[in-house]
Amino acid sequence: MDILTIGEVLIDLTQTGKDEKGIPQFAANPGGAPANLAVAAARLGAQTAFIGKVGADAFGRYLKEVLAENKVDVSGMAVDADHPTTMAVVSVDATGERDFSFYRSANADVMLCKEDISDEALKAAKIVHFGSVSLTADPSRTATLDAAARAKKMGAVITYDPNYRANLWKNKEDAIAQMKAPLPLVDILKVSDEELPLLTGTTDCESGTAQLAQNGIRLIFVTLGANGVFYRFGEKTGHVAGVPCKVGDTNGAGDTFFGAALSKLCKEELDTLTVDKLEGILAFANKAASITTSRHGAIPAMPTLAEVEG
């Protein structure tokens, strides 16, 4: 297995417009950053698996089907008979930017337990990936950190995307502390230009990533929206320009970028990776993210390998 992702899978009720009476219309899109990343990487040729928890309901069955249809191994997905599948309502403004409202205080994704993540699944993966939404509450927080620590000991490359969603945390201070907690385990980190100052206290990519690298993180990406990506690879830093597009919505763009990058990096060894090769991978990832941004939804908008290479 190239990439195992752990964390939330949920229904994004995404606003699609309004009817003739002005009533907002929503589409039930599959979502959740780790699930999105698993699909993005699978569509681009990587072997991926996903471990998370859904409810024993129609949305849960639908999410499992969607991942399986996209060639993601769902044998490790757990079903919770007592808690419903998690939902997020995603409103999109005129510029394509998103606003999230979550329905998950006692929902299935938060109920992921240590016992749901087997050593066999971790051992089989070259890369084990997670995000910070899993860290907002227990038992999923403990389960995720435990799995990352176990996978690290087994020799997996650990990748992390701290997605900041303010309304999922008690307060900003708690969010920052919990988002920072896994950093010493991480080999490859992706942050957005909005999350960099949360974790480092600076908007400067050079000094911010230098600070993050002190945790032992070997490769860091700072995504800059339409402006592409800044990277730090050991002592080397650089910038790879974005690919312009007409924005449909930005939902899933960061997951597509990271999934695309990891679909290539899972075939490489970090010890022998060159800067030229890395910049080629990031150009590929920027193009994949641009295609997703030009469309609507997250998973439904993600490109195939033929589309990115075409």
In this predicted structure, the answer to whether residue 100 has a pLDDT above a threshold of 80 is no
In this predicted structure, the answer to whether residue 107 has a pLDDT above a threshold of 80 is yes
Q: Can you give the pTM of this predicted structure?
A: 0.94
d(CA 160, CA 221): 11
In this predicted structure, the answer to whether residue 96 has a pLDDT above a threshold of 70 is no
The answer to whether residue 23 sits within a structural domain is: no
Q: Which of 61-70, 75-84, 87-96, 166-175 has the lowest mean pLDDT?
A: 87-96
The answer to whether residue 192 sits within a structural domain is: yes
The answer to whether residue 63 sits within a structural domain is: yes
Find the mean pLDDT for residues 28-47.
Answer: 95
The answer to whether residue 145 sits within a structural domain is: yes
> For residue range 298-310, what is the model confidence (pLDDT) as tens digits?
788 899 999 999 8
The answer to whether residue 262 sits within a structural domain is: yes
Residues 6+ apart with CB under 8 A from 114: 139, 142, 143, 146, 147
Confidence of residue 15 (pLDDT cuts 50, 70, 90): confident
Predicted pLDDT of residue 45? 96
Residues 6+ apart with CB under 8 A from 209: 196, 220, 222, 230, 232, 237
> For residue range 228-254, what is the model confidence (pLDDT) as tens digits?
999 999 999 999 998 888 877 777 899
15, β-bridge pairs = 26
The domain of 242 spans 3-8+31-82+106-309
What percentage of the chain carries pLDDT values higher than 70? 99
Find the mean pLDDT for residues 24-36.
Answer: 91
The answer to whether residue 76 sits within a structural domain is: yes
Find the mean pLDDT for residues 73-84.
Answer: 97
> For residue range 208-233, what is the model confidence (pLDDT) as tens digits?
999 999 999 999 999 999 899 999 99
Q: What tokens were used for 106?
A: 């006692």
Predicted pLDDT of residue 89? 87
Predicted pLDDT of residue 58? 96
Confidence of residue 99 (pLDDT cuts 50, 70, 90): confident
Predicted pLDDT of residue 258? 98
d(CA 129, CA 259): 10
CATH at 267: 3.40.1190.20
d(CA 310, CA 304): 10
Q: How many residues does the chain have?
A: 310
Number of domains in the chain: 1
Find the mean pLDDT for residues 158-185.
Answer: 95
Predicted pLDDT of residue 231? 98
The answer to whether residue 248 sits within a structural domain is: yes
Predicted pLDDT of residue 105? 77
Does a cis peptide bond (omega within 30 degrees of 0) precede residue 162?
no
Residue pair 43/64 in contact by the 8 Å Cβ criterion: no
The answer to whether residue 97 sits within a structural domain is: no
Predicted pLDDT of residue 218? 98
